[in-house]
Amino acid sequence: MTTGRVNPAFTLDEQGINGLGNVYYNLLEPALIEEALKRDEGALGKGGALLVSTGSHTGRSPKDKFVVRTKDVEDTIWWENNKPMAPEAFDVLYADMIEHMKGKDYFVQDLFGGADPAHRLDVRVVTELAWHAQFIRTMLRRPALTELDSFVADFTIINCPSFKADAQKHGCRSETVIAMNFEKKIILIGGTAYAGENKKSVFTLLNYILPGKGVMAMHCSANHAPNNPVDTAIFFGLSGTGKTTLSADPSRVLIGDDEHGWSDRGTFNFEGGCYAKTINLSAEAEPEIYATTSKFGTVVENMVFDPHSKELDFEDNSLTDNMRCAYPLEYISNASPTALGGHPKNIILLTCDAFGVLPPIARLTPAQAMYHFLSGFTSKTPGTEVGVLEPIPTFSTCFGAPFMPRRPEAYGNLLRDKIAKHGATCWLVNTGWTGGAYGTGSRMPIKATRALLTAALDGSLAEVEFRKDENFGFDVPVAVAGVADILLDPRRTWGDKDAYDAQAEKLVSMFSENFEQYVAYIDEDVKAAAIG
Beta-carbon contacts of residue 63 (< 8 Å; ≥ 6 apart): 83, 173, 386
Rounded distance between C-alpha atoms, residue 496 and residue 491, angstroms = 9
Residues 116-137 pLDDT 10s: 999 999 999 999 999 999 999 9
Q: How do residues 86-100 score in pLDDT, each as one tens digit?
A: 999 999 999 999 999
Stretch 209-223: mean pLDDT:
96
State the pLDDT at residue 447.
Answer: 93
Classify burial at 332, counting beta carbons within 10 Å of its beta carbon; exposed 0-12, middle 13-18, buried 19 or more: buried
The stretch 489-498 carries a mean pLDDT of 97
Listed residue (112, 259, 96, 273) closest to 188, CA to CA: 96
Residue 167 to residues 61, 90, 93, 190, 197: CA-CA distances in angstroms? 15, 12, 10, 12, 19
Q: Which is more confidently placed, 28 or 438?
A: 28
The pLDDT value recorded for residue 379 is: 84
Confidence of residue 141 (pLDDT cuts 50, 70, 90): very high
DSSP state of 60: B
Q: Is the pLDDT of residue 409 over 70?
A: yes
**Torsion angle in degrees (nearest 10) through CA of 241, 111, 73, 527:** -30
Question: What's the predicted TM-score (pTM) here?
Answer: 0.93
> What is residue 380's predicted lDDT score, i.e. its pLDDT?
73
Average pLDDT over residues 180-208: 97
Instruction: Taking residues 450-462, report their average pLDDT.
Output: 96
Task: Please check whether residue 472 is in contact with residue 363, taking contact to mean a CB–CB distance below 8 angstroms.
Answer: no
Q: What is the pLDDT of residues 39-87, one digit of tens each?
A: 999 999 999 999 999 999 999 999 999 999 999 999 999 999 999 999 9
What lies within 8 Å, CB to CB, of 495 at 6+ separation is 435, 436
User: How far apart, in whole angstroms, are the C-alpha atoms of residue 428 and residue 431?
Assistant: 10
Q: For a pLDDT cut of 90, what percent of the chain falls above it? A: 90
Res. 383: pLDDT tops 70: no
Q: What is the pLDDT of residue 239?
A: 79
Contact indicator for 322, 277 with CB cutoff of 8 Å: yes
Per mean pLDDT, which range of 24-28, 187-191, 413-417 is the poorest? 413-417
Q: Is the pLDDT of residue 335 over 80?
A: yes
% of the chain with per-residue pLDDT over 70: 98
Is the pLDDT assigned to residue 7 strictly greater than 80?
yes
Report how far residue 439's alpha carbon sits from residue 316's, in angstroms, rounded to the nearest whole number: 20
In this prediction, residue 390 carries a pLDDT of 66
Show which residues are catalytic.
60, 200, 219, 239, 243-244, 258, 324
Q: Is the pLDDT of residue 223 over 90?
A: yes
Strands 425-430 and 344-351: parallel
Query: 286-330 pLDDT, tens per residue?
Result: 899 999 999 999 999 999 999 999 999 999 999 999 999 999 999
Task: Kindly tell me if the per-residue pLDDT of 389 is higher than 70.
Answer: no
Closest to 358 measured CA to CA, from 515, 506, 525: 506
- Rounded Cα gap, residues 431 and 477, in angstroms: 16
CB 198 within 8 A of CB 189: yes
User: What confidence tier does 443 reach under pLDDT thresholds 50, 70, 90?
Assistant: very high
Query: Does residue 388 have a pLDDT over 80?
Result: no
pLDDT at 386: 66
With contact defined as beta carbons under 8 Å apart, do 448 and 480 qualify? no
Exposed/middle/buried for residue 391 (C-beta within 10 Å: 0-12, 13-18, 19+): buried
| Number of Cβ atoms within 10 Å of the Cβ of 513 | 11
**Is residue 376 over pLDDT 70?**
yes
Looking at residue 374, its pLDDT comes to 95
What's the whole-number average pLDDT of the chain? 95
Write out the E strands in 244-364: 253-256, 259-263, 266-269, 273-277, 299-301, 324-328, 340-341, 344-351, 361-364
Using pLDDT thresholds of 50, 70 and 90, give the confidence band for residue 202: very high
pLDDT score of 523: 87
Q: Are strands 216-225 and 259-263 parallel, antiparallel or unpaired?
A: antiparallel
Is 385 a residue whose pLDDT tops 70?
no
Under 8 Å between Cβ of 140 and 171: no
CA 86 to chain centre: 28
Q: In this predicted structure, what is the pLDDT of residue 381?
A: 65
